[in-house]
Structure 1
Amino acid sequence: MASDSKTAQIPPVPWDSFVAIGDSFTEGMTDTLDESSNDPIYIGWADRLAMELSQRRISDGNQPLKYANLAIRGRLIKQIYREQFAAALAMKPDLISIIAGGNDLIRPGCSPDQITSLLEKMVMQARAQGVEVLLCANYDPKHSPLIGLSRMAIAVFNSNLWAIARRYNCYVMDLWGLRSLRDTSLWAPDHLHLTNQGHKIVMNAALQGLGQPVVDSDYQKPALANKDRYRAAENLVWAREHLWPWVKRHSQGRSSGDGRTPKYPQLIAVTENFLP
């Protein structure tokens, strides 16, 4: 297990089980171990977090962490509430990550207040059952001129989220202030999903949010000035190959997650061979 300090004492991992719910961000797109597959299983920040927490538990002589990931790409927050939340609580986890609303926020005319109202409903129900909650303050999309149009809505969402976290004593993974994520090389060609290295940075942000020592002490290192914005040519390619197909698909009432099922629908023990 990697650590940013050989002498630092790592506090015990207090959670026996962890369930992640959400959309493509938590599913892990586009971080795959098999790029040749037409339908790969993605390994994202939540899977890497589960592996790191489990390794720490095992090192302390405890049983491996039990983990489930119910996230499905394309899901709106209402769908996450209807399809994933009750199933997650039924597993009686010690910790749940509720990261939802990203797909809502990039849609024109969205109401961040309505989105966070439903988020608070989930948080309140989880905390009432004694489940600890990890939330996420969304990243700042200023590096992308088009997606950046939703920046003000995201800022309001994040402000509401921090208030919810204080009211219910939740953990928060803060991506808004994470300047390293402004490095455009960490993002997939669709400008929405992270690469392998991007998910490792987010995993460290999650560890810090949970009060656990990070793996990489440099994970917050700011992006270089010449890498923190997309070039005009990149934006044109993105609009043609990603934005237009997205608009067309949603105008037809379709989603990238239609017909999909969760990759880890039940709690499983995260052993050393969980991630290759």
Structure 2
Amino acid sequence: MSTTDKEDAAAAPVVPPWDSFVAIGDSFTEGMTDALEDGSDDPLYVGWADRLAMEISRRRIAAGQEPLKYANLAIRGKLIGQVNREQLDAAIMMKPALMSIIAGGNDMIRPGSSADKVTTLLEEMVVKVRAHGIEVLLCAHYAPRHSPVLELTRPTVAIFNSNLWSIARRHGCYVMDQWGLRSLNDTAIWAPDRLHLTGEGHQIMMNAALEALGQPIVDADYQTPAPAGKDRFAASENIAWVKDHLWPWVKRHSRGRSSGDGRSPKYPQLVPVTDDFLE
């Protein structure tokens, strides 16, 4: 190959190889709290997965290929067992080229949860999907440092992530690394409940997903660490959070209720991601 040919190859855009993508999971993949429109009592959330689907489709269309087909079955509040029972088989039946399986976060914030049990089920799900020739995107969960209560889950999350990297190696999965993203330590990109990301946070995760998939990123600075002094909430903010968010969450779950009760997936079937996707 000549020097000119090599330069042309290097300059050529990277065309995503997947023609279809299905995302399953909980609120993180549903997209909370990256609202499409502000002020709605029940907004449509966009989130990293929708953003990823739009970027992959944009690149495919620019290369003269058909737009990506995309479904998102994720529903807020779901435990990994529910994701397995309610979403996995439906996702496999769509025969996508790529599937993201991101679950277990709601399990790990519950007292007495076992990261080993969660990842045992996760591996069973991965094996089932990979047996159909579907590529899998996983996620190493965030290391909660910004909140003294959520920080108590760090040991459980660390075990989960260690197991997840082993699962990915055994079964040839992609992994986006929330744990290692120092930009997520910025308190400004977290919603008031401290469990969900803002639109800026989901944009960061979209870049992390692109990088995990071997695709060019959109924002070169997405890994920039949080500004000094912005990586922890103040004591007064922690007190307000306990009153306004933690205590209502405890009461709801003590009654066996979930924020996802009665909800349906926002994109239950594969749809082409075109320019008017979110209109």
TM-score tier (shorter): over 0.9
Distance (whole Å) between structure 1 residues aligned to residue 214 and residue 167 of structure 2: 18
Alignment partner of 1:233: what SS? helix
Q: Which runs of 5+ in 2 are unaligned?
A: 1-9
| TM-score where L is the length of structure 2 | 0.95
Alignment partner of 1:31: what SS? coil
Deviations 1:107-132 (A, max 9, x none): 11000000000000010011111000
Task: Please tell me whether residue 212 in structure 1 is matched to residue 252 in structure 2.
Answer: no
Counterpart contact for 1:51–1:275, Cα < 8 Å: no
Alpha carbons of structure 1 residues 176 and 9: separation in structure 2 relative to 1, 3 Å: farther
Which residue is equivalent to 1:4?
A: none
Task: Please tell me whether residue 79 in structure 1 is matched to residue 82 in structure 2.
Answer: yes
Alpha carbons of structure 1 residues 61 and 189: separation in structure 2 relative to 1, 3 Å: same
Task: Please tell me whether residue 174 in structure 1 is matched to residue 146 in structure 2.
Answer: no
Distance (whole Å) between structure 2 residues aligned to residue 82 and residue 8 of structure 1: 45
**How far does residue 167 in structure 1 lie from its aligned partner after superposition?**
0.2
**How far does residue 238 in structure 1 lie from its aligned partner after superposition?**
0.7
| TM-score where L is the length of structure 1 | 0.96
Distance (whole Å) between structure 1 residues aligned to residue 129 and residue 260 of structure 2: 25
| Identity in percent | 68
Q: Which runs of 5+ in 1 are unaligned?
A: 1-6
Alignment partner of 1:145: what SS? coil
List structure 1 runs of 4+ shifted beyond 2 angstroms.
7-10
Task: Please tell me whether residue 200 in structure 1 is matched to residue 203 in structure 2.
Answer: yes
Deviations 1:148-201 (A, max 9, x none): 100000000000000000000000001100000000000000000000100000
Q: Which has the larger radius of gyration?
A: 2
Matches within 5 A, 1:98-113: 98-113=101-116
Counterpart residue identity of residue 242, structure 2? A
Which residue is equivalent to 1:114?
A: 117
**How far does residue 8 in structure 1 lie from its aligned partner after superposition?**
4.8
Distance (whole Å) between structure 1 residues aligned to residue 17 and residue 40 of structure 2: 37
Distance (whole Å) between structure 2 residues aligned to residue 230 and residue 36 of structure 1: 25
Alignment partner of 1:224: what SS? coil
Task: Please tell me whether residue 257 in structure 1 is matched to residue 255 in structure 2.
Answer: no
Task: Please tell me whether residue 272 in structure 1 is matched to residue 272 in structure 2.
Answer: no
Counterpart contact for 1:10–1:212, Cα < 8 Å: no
Which residue is equivalent to 1:60?
A: 63
Deviations 1:89-119 (A, max 9, x none): 0000000000000000001100000000000
Deviations 1:219-256 (A, max 9, x none): 00000121011111111111000000000000000000
Distance (whole Å) between structure 2 residues aligned to residue 20 and residue 144 of structure 1: 28
| Pick aligned residue for 1:153 from 137, 152, 156 | 156
Counterpart contact for 1:95–1:134, Cα < 8 Å: yes
Alignment partner of 1:12: what SS? coil
| Pick aligned residue for 1:18 from 21, 26, 32 | 21
Task: Please tell me whether residue 238 in structure 1 is matched to residue 241 in structure 2.
Answer: yes
Counterpart residue identity of residue 43, structure 1? V
Distance (whole Å) between structure 2 residues aligned to residue 237 and residue 35 of structure 1: 23
Counterpart contact for 1:99–1:136, Cα < 8 Å: yes
Task: Please tell me whether residue 94 in structure 1 is matched to residue 114 in structure 2.
Answer: no
**How far does residue 274 in structure 1 lie from its aligned partner after superposition?**
1.4
**How far does residue 10 in structure 1 lie from its aligned partner after superposition?**
2.9
Distance (whole Å) between structure 2 residues aligned to residue 9 and residue 230 of structure 1: 45
What RMSD, in angstroms, separates the aligned Cα atoms of the two structures? 0.9
Distance (whole Å) between structure 1 residues aligned to residue 12 and residue 80 of structure 2: 38
Deviations 1:19-39 (A, max 9, x none): 000000000001112222111
